[in-house]
Chain A
Amino acid sequence: MSFFKIANDASAVAVRRNFLGQSSLILSGAAIALLAGKDALAAKGGQSTEQDIRILNTAISAELEAIAAYQVGAESGLLQQPVLALALTFQGHHKEHADILSKTIVKLGGKPTVAKAKYNFPTEKLKSQADVLQFAATLEKGAVSAYLNAVPLFGNPDLAKAAASILGDEAMHWAILRNALGEVPVPSAFMS
């Protein structure tokens, strides 16, 4: 797998760490904008806000499931370093997404979805590191499509911007997971 060659190169690891760090900073920027914009968020109210809350809650539900999925992968014993560290980094991103989305819903006057006691995953099909990576890549690609189709629905442009920021992060996850699987990381110019 091409990923291992890249990942075992010390300079490449440093670049990747720097890249991941920067992506966190970008997301934090969006998060801060949301947290700071309480009045603006609450100003609209009405049906538009209700719809925004529903969309955000659906997003939280998917993020919480992703956190659980990465946990299953991490505890499977199938992931080797540096893939395991990468999976935990991505899980951390999903935790940040879920956290900021939950706080935003509270600000909007809604009640955020909480994690389920149990999630269903096709664990019987996960027999190798590649299986886990493929499963994660499938979820991340779906997440990109979900956010892409949520962005135009928000009544509040700040929420659309935050969702687009998360979309970018999920797309990077997908590309890196594809690369780790030896697939073309970015197979097309557009996402759908």
Chain B
Amino acid sequence: MIALPRRCAGVALLLISSALLAAPKEQPSVGDAKNGEVLYGRCVACHALAYDRTGPRHCGLIGRKAGTVKGFDYSDAMKRSKVVWSPKTLDEFLANPLKTVPGTAMGYAGVTDSKERRDLIAYLSEVNESDECKKRSP
């Protein structure tokens, strides 16, 4: 009578362990757009949302093929990159721009903190749908 509960407990433990091992990987959490807006302050030496500066405008970024804002003078590397900007491609690029698109004119070491990248991308995604961007998208 004593052995049965012990065996049951062992089985239960095994089941719990198996369930933990089989659990799907944690999905990346959605970024904090408000913090992303603060982080965007790092970008404003070269970028603006609605107009081109040293870097191209960010309105309309999500879903846009890299190197295609009309009238902006991109590096050849960016024009050839075949990147289409999405949360995933932005995450890769922002982590290390020069590694992702060698030859890009964006001489920026990168945003190494993955949470900061998520927040920044959440902001860029949110602002992409804003009235300011809808009015001025290319």
**What is the bound-complex CA distance between A101 and B104, given in angstroms?**
19
B44 → chain A closest CB, angstroms: 4
Q: Which of A54, A61, A152 contacts B109 (CB 8 A)?
A: A152
Count of chain A to chain B residue pairs whose CB atoms are closer than 8 Å in the complex = 65
- Residues on A with beta carbons closer than 8 Å to the beta carbon of B28: none
Q: Number of contacting residues on B, CB 8 A? A: 21
Q: Which of B41, B52, B105, B106 contacts A142 (CB 8 A)?
A: B41
Which of A4-12, A79-87, A143-151 is the contact stretch? A143-151
**What is the bound-complex CA distance between A151 and B41, given in angstroms?**
18
**In this complex, what residue of B is CB-closest to A122?**
B48
Q: Is B10 located at the chain interface by the 8 A CB criterion?
A: no
Q: Which of A59, A141, A142, A144 contacts B107 (CB 8 A)?
A: A59
Contact between A65 and B53, CB atoms less than 8 A apart: yes
- Residues on B with beta carbons closer than 8 Å to the beta carbon of A51: 98, 103, 107
**In this complex, what residue of A is CB-closest to B109?**
A149
Contact between A142 and B43, CB atoms less than 8 A apart: yes
What are 28 A-B pairs at a CB distance below 8 A? Answer: A54-B105, A55-B107, A57-B105, A58-B54, A58-B107, A59-B107, A61-B46, A62-B54, A120-B48, A120-B52, A138-B44, A139-B44, A141-B44, A142-B41, A142-B43, A142-B44, A142-B46, A143-B45, A146-B45, A149-B42, A149-B108, A150-B108, A150-B109, A152-B109, A153-B107, A153-B108, A153-B109, A192-B42
